[in-house]
Amino acid sequence: MNRKRRSFASAMQCLLVAGAASSATIGVPGQFAQIQSAIDAASPGDTVLVASGTYAPADSNGISFRGKALVVRSEEGAGATAIDAMGAGRGFLFKNGETVTSILRGFTITGGSASRSGGIYCEGSSPAIYDCEISGNTSVGLDNRGGGLFALIASPTLQGCTISQNVALGAEGHGGGIVFVQSGGSISDCTISENLAVSANGHGGGIYLAQSSPSIDGCFIIDNRAYSSGGLYCGDSSPLITNCTISRNIADKGGGFRCRNLAAPVLTNCVVSANQATDQAGGGFNCDSNSHVTMFDCDVVDNTAVLWGGGMYLWSANATLVDCRIENNETLMKGGGLYFWGSSATELLRCDVSDNRSTGTGAGMFLTIGSSVSVRASRISGNGAGSSGGGLHCEAASSARLQNCIIAGNDALAGGAISCIGADTLHLYNCTVAGNTATLGGDGLYFSGGVGRVENSIVWEDAPDPIAIDAGSLLAEWSDIKGGWTGAGNIDATPGFVTWRGYDFLLQNRSPCIDTGNPGTLDALYDSHPAWPAAHNDGEPADMGAYGGPGNGDWIP
């Protein structure tokens, strides 16, 4: 047994020695003047080590790894070592089936000018690119997409890179910084900034995705410009985007992000802020063509649009938003926070739609052309509209269902909280509508057509008549409505609001709204609800207001 162990150990030692002996470090310019010559001489597993300085590719197509598994890295990092194509071609080419074992590290790649990226072109390959600065490159010619990097049927890994000041020129100049077509891979801990898609129809100043599903994590996509989607364009693609900041990007439409053609991006813990749609719609997001964006714990804040949807504009598209904040967005027309046109399946859960502004209607949310939106355990507050619907506006056969929501502190000319104009449907279940104002009437709810239903809710405004109906109808039952309203179980009594541990509009102990909702419904959580004060004495029958009823558990993540 001991002899077998000694033989095995000796064999392993020989393999390690052989492996070490077979890996070499080749110096540039010490052993070869050209990086390409060093790569051509290298064997799999070797390292090409490049001294500081500026180097030009030997071939206008770019420096190629020739499919080899090796490392090409600089001695002093990207700040001291540059590959400059000087306008005569491309920096690097990966087109021979390279994998993650083909590693490029620590270079500035600049001065490239070529079709399908002046910086790096990857086709059918999956190289790993670390700690590089890809800047000052241009895509020109027959396929002028991807100024900095173009990936086609590829899965590159980019980590710790800066992709900046690249340009996509010409009629189809998409993706000033990065283009992925039918590709996967990953982009992590990168900064994509100040890139430009020049075309009059150019998409994706920072990143352009077509039929691609890369993961994008920990990146800053900032200060990019394009005709459409200044930050990121997503067409028929399903990227996973986490921990990213998409900010200060500018486009005619879709300042930060644009989704088209069945795109289904998923964003988690991202910030989409201070983006601008300078001519049309969607300061933060512009989504159409049956796309569906899903967001978890994201902030869509401080975005602006000239026409519609300061935060998000959805045209025949949908969204699922969970634990998101849509705040302080602005538009000159409609939908300061969210704009829905023909959106048939949009859901919001535990979201905060607050402090948005629109000169026209629907400062918080605007629904039109048959849109259908479900909002649960969310807050719509502090929004201001120059016309109607400070919190939410419905028109053109749209429907909104709000359950366990707080609509408070909004203002408008009519319908401080909510306005409905036309053949619309509004359902409020276990909602609290309070502290809203409207100059022309309907501080809480305003109807000029449509059908409303209010159940287990509180509508309590400073004005004596919080509901105004010029046309349409409202059925209200088992609700507390200031000034009174005809309907089963309705009351007119001060609800007694309190604030506790960050939850406002809770009910005081012995409030007339406790246990007095529809007797056919129950609170999912009652005495054990973590949002309530310890002394709160509540039974199982449904309470009125935002914290009662079958859906009150939705407030708890």
pLDDT digits (tens, 9 = 90+) for 327-348: 999 999 999 999 999 999 999 9
Three-state DSSP at 20 gives: helix
The predicted-structure confidence for 157-193, as pLDDT tens digits, reads as follows 999 999 999 999 987 889 999 999 999 999 999 999 9
- What pTM was estimated for this model as a whole? 0.94
The predicted-structure confidence for 205-222, as pLDDT tens digits, reads as follows 999 999 999 999 999 999
| Sign of the torsion formed by the C-alpha atoms of 268, 274, 279 and 282 | positive
Who's near 11: CB < 8 A, 6+ residues apart? none
The percentage of the chain sitting over the pLDDT mark of 70, rounded to a whole number, equals: 94
DSSP per position, 138-171: EE-SSS---SSEEEES---EEES-EEES-EE-ST
Phi-psi region of 160 (alpha: psi -120 to 50; beta: other; left: phi over 0): left
Residue 104 predicted with pLDDT over 50: yes
**Any idea which residue has 């400062």 for tokens?**
363
Question: And the tokens for 353?
Answer: 């739609």
- Beta strand 411-412 with 53-55 is unpaired
The predicted-structure confidence for 459-478, as pLDDT tens digits, reads as follows 999 888 899 999 999 999 99
Helix, strand, coil abundance in the chain, percent, nearest 5: 5, 40, 50
**Any idea which residue has 């010490």 for tokens?**
30
**Any idea which residue has 């309590």 for tokens?**
460
Residue 6 predicted with pLDDT over 90: no
* Model confidence band, residue 4 (pLDDT cutoffs 50, 70, 90): very low
Res 531: pLDDT: 65
Residue 56 predicted with pLDDT over 60: yes
* Model confidence band, residue 230 (pLDDT cutoffs 50, 70, 90): very high
Residue 61 predicted with pLDDT over 50: yes
Res 42: pLDDT: 98
Residue 441 predicted with pLDDT over 60: yes
Cis peptide before 29 (omega within 30 of 0): yes
HSE, CB side, 13 Å, CA atoms: give it for residue 28: 27
Three-state DSSP at 194 gives: coil
DSSP per position, 361-420: S-SSEEEESS-EEEEES-EEES-EESSB-SSEEEESS-EEEEES-EEES-EESB-SSEEE
- Beta strand 330-331 with 215-217 is unpaired
Residue 375 predicted with pLDDT over 50: yes
Res 37: pLDDT: 98
Residue 399 predicted with pLDDT over 60: yes
**Residues β-bridged to residue 376:** 349, 403
- Asked whether the beta carbons of 366 and 333 are under 8 A apart, the reply is no
HSE, CB side, 13 Å, CA atoms: give it for residue 240: 6
The pair phi, psi for residue 108, each rounded to 5°, is -90, 130
Tell me the C-alpha distance between 298 and 509, whole Å.
35
The predicted-structure confidence for 245-281, as pLDDT tens digits, reads as follows 999 999 999 999 999 999 999 999 999 999 999 999 9
* Model confidence band, residue 20 (pLDDT cutoffs 50, 70, 90): very low
Res 532: pLDDT: 67
Res 423: pLDDT: 86
Tell me the C-alpha distance between 418 and 309, whole Å.
17
Residue 454 predicted with pLDDT over 60: yes
Residue 1 predicted with pLDDT over 60: no
**Residue type, position 51, single letter:** A
How confident is the model over 346-375, as a mean pLDDT?
98
Mean pLDDT taken over the chain: 94
Tell me the C-alpha distance between 461 and 411, whole Å.
12
Tell me the C-alpha distance between 225 and 198, whole Å.
8
Question: And the tokens for 241?
Answer: 């985007």
